[in-house]
Every structure is written in structure tokens, then in C-alpha cells.
């Protein structure tokens, strides 16, 4: 399979089950709170046209959630099926997301990469992203 046989399109709610199955296959992606069908539906509605999937004629081979808060862009769960890695699919997903963010006037985007995800960190660095050394990630369950 080469990049020419892969098409890109907007992520729609009907893609949810296939996307979750893909994310579960990719051990570096953590499915957690905020990833239910209803929450993804609401995210897609708040960020129309931002998220995307990559597919061959018969299956989803990549997916990414993308959106913004009006100030910063965010990319979540960018994942590519193992059989399709190294073929530019991740870069295609990322280019879709960043082009949509730029079109919306967003000038900076943020991602979170798990500390033990060296493969993911390498991908993001190769694509021009940088660590934020002065930042310490924090969260709270509400």
C-alpha cells in the first residue's frame, strides 16, 4: 500500500467505532475520559471540518482529532495503523489538521505526548514540533 492509494476526508461521527478500534490497536494512544461517542460528537460539532481520517478503499488506516479554543489549536489521538506506518499517512493527517487550524486563524497548536511514547515524540519532532521545557503538564478530573 502506498500513499497514493490512501484518501483523506473529514472525520464524522459514523467513523467513531472504526477510529476507536484503530486507537486501541495503537498502544501509544490512550482512550480515556472525553472519548465517549457523545463527547466525540460534541467535539466534532464544536470543531467542524478539523478532524480527519485516512482510508483505503476498504478500511480506516489513520485518524486524528483536531480543534481549537479560538486561541490555541489541539491535536489528539493522531494514529496510523501499524501496516501503514512509514508511508506518509501520519504526515498527511497532520497536514490536514494544521492547514485547518491555519485557515481558522490559529497561530499555535499544542499536543500531549506520553513520556514513554518515544516513537510518537520522534514523529512530532520530525514534523517540526518542539518540547515546551518550561511547562509542566497538569490536569484535574472534574
Looking at the 3D structure of the chain, how many domains does it have?
Answer: 1
* Tens of each residue's pLDDT in the chain, 142 residues: 455 689 999 999 999 999 999 999 998 898 888 899 999 999 999 999 999 999 998 899 999 999 999 999 999 999 999 999 999 999 999 999 999 999 999 999 999 888 888 888 999 999 999 988 888 888 887 8
Q: What b/e string do you get for 4-36 counting C-beta neighbours within 10 Å, with b at 16 or more?
A: eebeeeebeeebbebbbebbeebebbeeeeebe
Cβ 1 vs Cβ 56: under 8 Å: yes
Residue 106 maps to which CATH number?
3.40.630.30
Q: Is 28 part of any domain?
A: yes
Q: Is 86 part of any domain?
A: yes
pTM, entire model: 0.90
Q: Is 131 part of any domain?
A: no
Question: What is the extent of the structural domain holding 101?
Answer: 3-126
Amino acid at each position: 500500500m502506498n500513499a497514493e492509494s490512501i484518501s483523506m476526508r473529514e472525520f464524522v461521527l459514523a467513523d467513531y467505532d472504526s477510529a476507536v478500534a484503530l486507537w486501541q490497536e495503537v498502544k501509544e494512544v490512550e482512550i480515556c475520559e472525553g472519548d465517549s461517542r457523545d463527547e466525540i460528537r460534541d467535539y466534532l460539532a464544536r470543531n467542524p471540518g478539523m478532524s480527519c481520517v485516512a482510508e483505503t478503499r476498504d478500511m480506516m488506516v489513520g485518524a486524528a482529532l483536531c480543534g481549537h479554543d479560538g486561541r490555541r489549536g489541539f491535536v489528539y489521538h493522531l494514529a496510523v495503523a501499524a501496516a501503514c506506518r512509514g508511508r506518509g499517512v501520519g504526515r498527511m493527517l497532520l497536514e490536514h489538521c494544521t492547514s485547518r487550524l491555519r485557515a481558522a486563524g490559529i497561530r499555535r497548536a499544542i499536543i500531549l505526548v506520553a513520556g514513554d511514547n518515544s516513537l510518537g515524540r520522534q514523529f512530532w519532532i520530525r514534523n517540526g514540533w518542539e518540547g515546551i521545557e518550561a511547562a509542566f503538564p497538569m490536569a484535574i478530573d472534574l
